[in-house]
A and B are shown apart, each in its own frame.
Chain A
């Protein structure tokens, strides 16, 4: 079938207004949160599951690549149509189909914006826990593709812990339920397999999400440290003391100076590192845990310990953290953002190594961490026009990822593999591991779903990878 014939068929399914194929119109769909660019041949925006099923049947018959697209905020090139093909946009599938407050559930379409769900269920004193920094714009379908976490996933878990069932569309257009409204549905956990599979196995078309009761009390602390190693030690101490805060976030001096010069949330300028620690739960538990955490803080020579006195102050403290990547633009034209997770007890060691790398390459590295999870986000600052700086940044990023794996960590804590890290996969997995994973594509019969991502192509040496996918120009629309 020719491209024009496919376009014609799609127009019959969704109407011509929702089929985009002129190059000038496709440009809006050539990117995501990374800097990779590639035009799909067609963008089609279905309104419902039936339309998705019909679209997929055509793509399957014609072996056309299918790339699902939520809000395009992903950071690993997951929504990039690097081989062209059909990009399916979910921006019209935004219905909250059912809210079941009695069972703490909702059934939603995948185009629903993450934060909108929490807003809609707020009247029942419920919320949806995974809260990626992009939650004001990112979609739940996109969250499923990347198994998104968020600032509060330390205590409450990531997307896979909060989606209990899904209707999925297979590559041939068949619709299947994996999981349902009950918490323990029978059979292989295909729900768990599809979540985090970056759109390579199936497309989620309806989601059953688990909702949590809003915590009764929330307390947020800002602690400012004279050294980043003190801050790292405190993270380990809090976790090993048996307290699981809802969030422990860390920013180093460079990151602090970036947000202070733009967002100005009132972080101490002279701190080498700050921690934002939030605890929540029943009032009695929060009071006791606050005392214990304060005791831990007091063992260190802090520059400042501040507790948010009201919701306004709390929001302000988080505002700096949430806007940090956009703020890096005040320090350098470009950054190379690394995403890796390490065992939490290795924070001091790894941050010191990152510091040494920064000195070696003579480029500043701003550290922003979901410290409680051991999820690092070093941002190597450089100017892309300076080729030498760019190369050094790339090499440093690779070195940091290798360090993460060497200390028992992993290649990605939350951004996914996508195009960005596919060549790094052999650092963690051998051929057997990768083959077992790629067998899922055969089991799902989905070679045309987001093809040539996640798995190493084998064409490139790791040191020569074109990592444009992880280099971003600083701007306000990027979130970690």
Chain B
């Protein structure tokens, strides 16, 4: 940092950009407080802010709704936080074209509400949709269990405007659904945690909302049955919007008003035409002939909201959220192995929700005690996951152990290559320095 606060005020004072350096204490990133928070109202202001920051070698944290600010390696330094909250407009929604372009500071809730008025949606269901933004969610790169045609979050983006670390405004893609004009630069920024540029605008391809939705809860008592149920549904003709499973203590922790006497439950979200959903429901019951009882819920959004919010907000502070990615067929084996972990300190109370369409699991551990205990636990989890060729992302861990952990599992060769991208697009380490995989 080469400037003090009065100098900073002076620099931004000339630009007319809103800067707040009075109430910054609530905006901690890795226990560090920014000197000021900047609120650009236009892309041009965002560009000017980054230009000033890079010219003065200031370190910048881009901020959406701050709902997942815990994600990332220990940041090297922070001078400014750029809040995207004033860039939250819908720029162009063309329902008949099934495309929409928005500023990235729009919350998921506002965005989804707009689309649902036209019976449309984008499959994007991060935790805390009332505060999580489009830009933040894309920068993190993963969302909840809602899947559309088995695709990923990145499959929904058709164009972007990005402001690079030196303030250059760059456009990529377009507003049409099929496009091979030039490199697809947006891919660098989806899951890039704002380390190569700040996402300013996003164009999405949108999908029609299913006419009808229903959720089937399948209670089972044996882990093998759970494995069979999720496997058989994944392999069948039907394509659910979500297939997740959990043990009953995790289910109870979601505070869903639904009585379950079993040890585990699979939750299947079905969407489509009414007859189609009925058929899917019948198919599931046929597939799961060995299951005694099903619970079918027509109005089930509340369940999926709770599942998407699992672990969030991250409170109390001694909570840890770990994300595992693996092959769908290995999910149950991995979670079974993890449940068996007993550290030398004490047994662990895991809450785990597994997504069987993409093979992800979210592990929640509360009541963590010493740093040594947490580190041992992480090591054990990584060992178990790696046995099945899975990957671990420490989505949220207590601050005091951050400097001793690498948040992302990533291949050293790939990290080396990614480092070249950081060097190319953010040569002065302006954006989120040190926070990304490999401490890039």
Q: Is A bound to B?
A: yes
Q: Known contacts A187-B408, A188-B421, A282-B276: does B181 contact A177 (CB below 8 Å)?
A: no
Which residues of A have CB within 8 Å of B179? 341, 410, 412-413
B275 and A284 contact, CB distance less than 8 A: yes
CA distance A342 to B177 in the complex (A): 9
A204 to chain B, nearest CB (A): 15
CA distance A283 to B175 in the complex (A): 33
B272 and A282 contact, CB distance less than 8 A: yes
B237 and A213 contact, CB distance less than 8 A: yes
Q: Known contacts A242-B119, A341-B179: does B425 contact A161 (CB below 8 Å)?
A: no
B276 and A186 contact, CB distance less than 8 A: no
A193 and B238 contact, CB distance less than 8 A: no
Is A102 interfacial (CB-CB < 8 Å)?
A: yes
Residues B143-195 near A (CB distance < 8 A): 149-152, 154-155, 162, 164, 168-172, 174-185, 187-188, 190-192
Which residues of A have CB within 8 Å of B196? 188
A409 and B176 contact, CB distance less than 8 A: yes
A419 to chain B, nearest CB (A): 14
B152 and A284 contact, CB distance less than 8 A: no
Is A305 interfacial (CB-CB < 8 Å)?
A: no
Q: Mark A163-177, 1 if CB is under 8 A from B, else 0.
A: 000000010001111
Is B351 interfacial (CB-CB < 8 Å)?
A: no
A184 and B187 contact, CB distance less than 8 A: no
Nearest residue in A to B389 (C-beta to C-beta)?
A: A181
B177 and A186 contact, CB distance less than 8 A: no
B327 and A443 contact, CB distance less than 8 A: no
Is A239 interfacial (CB-CB < 8 Å)?
A: yes
Which residues of B have CB within 8 Å of A185? 325, 391
Is A285 interfacial (CB-CB < 8 Å)?
A: yes
B278 and A284 contact, CB distance less than 8 A: yes
Interface size of B by CB at 8 A reads 85
A196 and B183 contact, CB distance less than 8 A: yes
Q: Per a CB cutoff under 8 Å, which of B174, B183, B418 touches A187?
A: B418
Q: Known contacts A177-B413, A184-B141, A190-B417: does B178 contact A437 (CB below 8 Å)?
A: no
B288 to chain A, nearest CB (A): 18
Q: Per a CB cutoff under 8 Å, which of B170, B279, B360 touches A282?
A: B279
Q: Mark A121-150, 1 if CB is under 8 A from B, else 0.
A: 000000000000000000000000011010
B373 to chain A, nearest CB (A): 25
Which residues of A have CB within 8 Å of B187? 188-193
CA distance A422 to B133 in the complex (A): 36
Which residues of A have CB within 8 Å of B172? 433, 436-437
Is A417 interfacial (CB-CB < 8 Å)?
A: yes
Which of A108-116, A219-227, A368-376, A388-396 lies at the binding interface?
A368-376
Which of B91-99, B106-114, B255-263 lies at the binding interface?
B91-99
Which residues of B have CB within 8 Å of A181? 327, 389
CA distance A343 to B177 in the complex (A): 8
A378 to chain B, nearest CB (A): 16
Q: Known contacts A155-B149, A244-B208, A432-B169: does B276 contact A284 (CB below 8 Å)?
A: yes
Q: Mark A232-244, 1 if CB is under 8 A from B, else 0.
A: 0000100110111
CA distance A416 to B420 in the complex (A): 26
Nearest residue in B to A434 (C-beta to C-beta)?
A: B182
A239 and B141 contact, CB distance less than 8 A: no
Is B280 interfacial (CB-CB < 8 Å)?
A: yes
Q: Per a CB cutoff under 8 Å, which of B141, B169, B358, B414 touches A190?
A: B414
Q: Known contacts A192-B154, A242-B208, A284-B275: does B96 contact A182 (CB below 8 Å)?
A: no
Is B328 interfacial (CB-CB < 8 Å)?
A: yes
Which residues of A have CB within 8 Å of B359? 103, 182-183
Which residues of A have CB within 8 Å of B391? 180, 182, 185-186
A435 to chain B, nearest CB (A): 8
Is A178 interfacial (CB-CB < 8 Å)?
A: yes
Is A252 interfacial (CB-CB < 8 Å)?
A: no
CA distance A337 to B246 in the complex (A): 54
Q: Per a CB cutoff under 8 Å, which of B182, B211, B238 touches A425?
A: B182
A433 and B171 contact, CB distance less than 8 A: yes
Nearest residue in B to A202 (C-beta to C-beta)?
A: B417
CA distance A396 to B191 in the complex (A): 42
Q: Mark B408-426, 1 if CB is under 8 A from A, else 0.
A: 1111011101101101110
Q: Per a CB cutoff under 8 Å, which of B96, B239, B420 touches A240?
A: B96
Which residues of B have CB within 8 Å of A197? 183
B137 to chain A, nearest CB (A): 13
B190 to chain A, nearest CB (A): 6
Nearest residue in B to A288 (C-beta to C-beta)?
A: B273
Nearest residue in B to A342 (C-beta to C-beta)?
A: B176
Most chain A CB neighbours (cut-off 10 Å) among B141, B149, B182, B196: B182
A436 and B207 contact, CB distance less than 8 A: no
Q: Known contacts A186-B437, A239-B96, A436-B164: does B237 contact A412 (CB below 8 Å)?
A: no
CA distance A189 to B411 in the complex (A): 13
Most chain B CB neighbours (cut-off 10 Å) among A181, A189, A425: A189
Q: Known contacts A170-B417, A174-B413, A412-B180: does B329 contact A103 (CB below 8 Å)?
A: yes
Which residues of A have CB within 8 Å of B98? 239-240, 344
Which residues of A have CB within 8 Å of B418? 187-188, 190
B250 to chain A, nearest CB (A): 21
Residues A414-438 near B (CB distance < 8 A): 414-417, 421, 425, 428-430, 432-437
Chosen A-B contacts, 25 in total, with CB atoms closer than 8 Å, are: A149-B178, A176-B417, A184-B360, A186-B325, A186-B409, A186-B437, A187-B410, A187-B415, A188-B192, A189-B141, A193-B188, A243-B208, A343-B97, A343-B176, A344-B97, A344-B98, A374-B97, A374-B177, A410-B181, A412-B180, A428-B182, A434-B182, A436-B170, A442-B424, A443-B425
The 8 A-B residue pairs whose C-beta atoms are closest, nearest first, are: A192-B187, A242-B208, A240-B96, A285-B276, A186-B408, A284-B275, A373-B178, A183-B358
* B residues whose Cβ falls under 8 Å from a Cβ of A: 94-99, 119, 141-142, 149-152, 154-155, 162, 164, 168-172, 174-185, 187-188, 190-192, 196, 207-209, 211, 231, 235, 237-239, 272-273, 275-276, 278-280, 325-329, 358-360, 389-391, 393, 408-411, 413-415, 417-418, 420-421, 423-425, 436-438
18 further A-B pairs in the complex, CB-CB below 8 A; given A189-B191, A342-B176: A157-B155, A177-B414, A180-B389, A183-B325, A183-B358, A184-B358, A187-B408, A188-B187, A189-B190, A190-B418, A282-B280, A343-B97, A374-B177, A408-B176, A430-B171, A436-B425, A440-B183, A443-B425
* A residues whose Cβ falls under 8 Å from a Cβ of B: 100, 102-105, 146-147, 149, 153-158, 160-161, 170, 174-178, 180-193, 195-197, 201, 210, 212-213, 216, 236, 239-240, 242-244, 281-285, 287-289, 341-345, 370, 373-375, 408-417, 421, 425, 428-430, 432-437, 439-440, 442-445, 454
